[in-house]
Copies of this chain bind each other. A is one copy, B any other.
Amino acid sequence: MGSPLVVDIHTHMYTPAYMSLLGSRKTVPYTYEPPSGPTRLIILSSDDDPSIPIEERGRPIDSSYLDIEVKLAFMRQHGINCSVVSLANPWLDFIEPEEAQSWAHRINDDLENACANMNNKADPESIKALHEKETLFAFGALPLTAPNTDVIVKEIQRVKTLPHMRGIVLGTSGMGKGLDDERLNPIWAALQDTDTLLFLHPHYGLPDEAFGGADATNRYGHVLPLALGFPLETTIAVTRMLLAGVFDRFPRLKILLAHSGGTLPFLAGRIESCIQHERKFVANGGDLPGPQRNVWDVLQTNIYLDAVVYGVPGLKAAVAASGNADRVLFGKVQRIFVIVSILTVSGTDHPFFPPLGDKKDGEWPSVTTNYKAIKEMFDGDTQAAHAVLGGNAARILKLK
């Protein structure tokens, strides 16, 4: 059957409208046009350091952030047939309430149009030729700061009607108080009712004190916040949802977790054990209901994981947590999407994890590392490898 269909479900863009928004701002996140050289992006408060000359703050940004042609070239170089793009963090988390709805409309329409434009170019007749031409789909962004949740719910419903949209991307802060916030109930209900996949992605990391203070945090560049802060942020967010009973109230919610769940597959057993032993929960004589469904059930019913974990050990845990390991190759592997690109801006580097130095124009090791892990993990099981590489995503996201 030739080379497999490869679908990249974890790949980010800033749309032109989003760039103009960043360019109009003076507080994080914002962009700055220095007298010479490329635009700078200041995305994290740690980037906004007054001791650094403004023309050196943040990072230079290039066309890979926003040019569909560059994305296309990247896809061709790595054998990716289809990308499901999402707006990069911090999405619309920082927008003034009264402007949230219009920015969400504008950004999501931009994304829809970019997909339509590319897919029409790829195949003027239809989007059927996933195997033959590169195609593009997208996750929409939400106006989470809007003055009332109706605005958010309506945007979920509207995104559902856009032909190239395949879900919603969400950060971990929700409406500012995390994802166990009861005010999010209408959002969960709307996502469930419209059968919309939610792509949960980190941005805020951990406080510097977690790493021993600001000095220790930055001592090794971005390694600690990115390698450890990001995955734990995702794990904390989804665990708070679990503990608050979100998956009890919305049992058909479907969430795709970035970076293979942060650390959820590895810590799932420990989380479940701590829940079983928590005296605050009714089961142990306490007052709180506690979650009614266990973490394994939720992992196997409500959660999808990308394969952005850079090695076999993590991938093994992700596959095993998604179901019985003996059945993963035949049935449960559909819970793992491939992510072969981290073209994310993610608040730390300019486009994230590109090849450096004299390897700049070659293949991206951050991509090939994940290819290799999938190959090693499913050695000899072509069907499972192809499912992970794209078959699962195509089926679940209805890409054909």
Contact = CB atoms under 8 A, between A and B. Distances in A.
A172 to B, nearest CB: 9
A249 B381 CA distance: 42
Interface stretch (A23-31, A76-84, A113-121, A349-357): A349-357
Chain A interface extent, by class: 35 or more
Contact of A224 (B209, B221, B240, B321): B240
A270 interface: yes
Contacts of A178: 212, 216
Contacts of A263: 228, 231-232, 263, 266-267
* Interface of chain A, main secondary structure: helix
B224 A239 contact: yes
A143 to B, nearest CB: 22
A220 B280 contact: yes
A90 interface: no
Interface string A354-370: 10110000000110010
A183 B86 CA distance: 45
A275 interface: yes
Contacts of A180: 216, 219
A284 interface: yes
Interface string A276-308: 111111001110101000001000000000000
Contact of A285 (B236, B311, B356): B356
A233 to B, nearest CB: 8
Interface stretch (A2-10, A39-47, A312-320): A312-320
A373 interface: yes
A278 B313 contact: no
A273 B369 contact: yes
A222 interface: yes
Contact of A240 (B209, B216, B309, B349): B216
A356 B325 CA distance: 30
The 9 closest A-B pairs by CB, nearest first: A269-B311, A269-B310, A221-B280, A266-B266, A317-B317, A313-B320, A313-B321, A227-B274, A313-B317
Given A219-B243, A221-B279, A269-B309, 13 more contacts: A180-B219, A220-B288, A221-B280, A224-B243, A227-B275, A231-B270, A232-B263, A265-B313, A266-B266, A267-B314, A270-B310, A285-B357, A313-B317
Interface of A: 177-178, 180, 206-207, 209-212, 216, 219-224, 226-228, 231-232, 235-236, 239-240, 243, 259-260, 263, 265-281, 284-286, 288, 290, 296, 309-314, 316-318, 320-321, 325, 349, 352-354, 356-357, 365-366, 369, 373
